Amino acid sequence: MANLDILIYPDDRLRNVAESVTNVDDDLRALIGNMFETMYTAPGIGLAATQIDVHQRVVVVDVSENGDQPLTLINPEIIESDGRIEHEEGCLSIPGIYESVERPELIKFAAIDRDGNPYEMEADGLLSICIQHEIDHLNGVLFVDHLSALKRRRIKKKMLKHEKDRPA
């Protein structure tokens, strides 16, 4: 397995809309393994393939305290949502920025697991927020897009300023 490079905002490739997965095979499972490793190393609680410059609809999440509840979502779709919840979010592609985002509180989603089996599941709390955040990535949307234009501009400026300090 390998630890992969994560794209950093504002990178145009984070704006790509990912393609649906047509075939769940060993290559895809290898990608999923690398995504989990990259996410746990970061450390993060969710990662979308878009963030490692792979534009397929694949998401990995694990919101458990001990990092022992990995969940793979291939071609995820939210089919129902309800309520509102506000929570501070942060993103591996936007390091150091944390802002409160309002989203639906409860979701029901459909996806395919790493063995190619379709499943449906309900989520609330942090898991719900995290899945919505990652599905956004597959559509080229970042959590800062949910903020006011003013806040977004300030974050973009800050990120561009730090870009110079980061090792290439």
Task: Check residue 63 for interaction with other proteins (CB under 8 A).
Answer: yes
Binding span for other proteins by CB under 8 A among 17-25, 70-78, 114-122, 129-137: 129-137
Q: What is the CB neighbour count within 10 angstroms for residue 121?
A: 14
Residues 81-110 that bind other proteins (CB under 8 A): 87-92, 98
Positive or negative torsion for Cα 55, 57, 63, 67? negative
Q: Walk across the sheet containing 118-123 and list its strands.
A: 46-48, 58-61, 71-82, 106-112, 118-123
Looking at this protein, which amino acid is placed at residue 25? D
Binding span for other proteins by CB under 8 A among 11-19, 39-47, 75-83, 107-115: 39-47
Count of residues that interact with other proteins, criterion CB under 8 A = 20
Give residues in contact with other proteins (CB under 8 A): 42-46, 61, 63, 87-92, 98, 125, 129-130, 133-134, 143
